[in-house]
Amino acid sequence: MMSGDIVNLRQARKARARREKDEKAAQNRSLFGRSKAEKSRDRAEADKALVHIEGHRRDTSASPAGSTGEDD
């Protein structure tokens, strides 16, 4: 005779939904849970990197990347 655990499917679904919600919340905390100082530091680093890259650009015209400037 098989004796297995009796599982209430409604409770199992709710438990799974809670677990998934908690995992998503933990992921969002790691992605978006930063202080104002951290955000401003990252923004300053990105701006500095952009200025550095733009300073080393060969062609300073406003043509899109990959464009040769010639009409086809």
Answer whether residue 17 is part of any domain: yes
Amino acid letter, 41: R
Answer whether residue 20 is part of any domain: yes
For 61, residues 6+ apart whose C-beta sits below 8 A from its C-beta are: 69
Cα(42)–Cα(49) distance, rounded to whole angstroms?
Answer: 11
pTM, full prediction: 0.41
Answer whether residue 61 is part of any domain: no
More confident residue, 61 or 7: 7
pLDDT digits (tens, 9 = 90+) for 24-59: 999 998 888 888 898 899 999 999 999 999 888 887
Answer whether residue 3 is part of any domain: no
Domain of residue 39: give its range: 9-55
Answer whether residue 64 is part of any domain: no
Average pLDDT over residues 8-24: 96
Q: Cα 8 from chain centroid? A: 37
Q: Binning pLDDT at 50, 70 and 90, where does residue 5 land?
A: confident
The pLDDT mean for the chain works out to 84
Residue 22: how many other CB atoms lie within 10 Å: 10
Give how many domains the chain has, as a whole number. Answer: 1
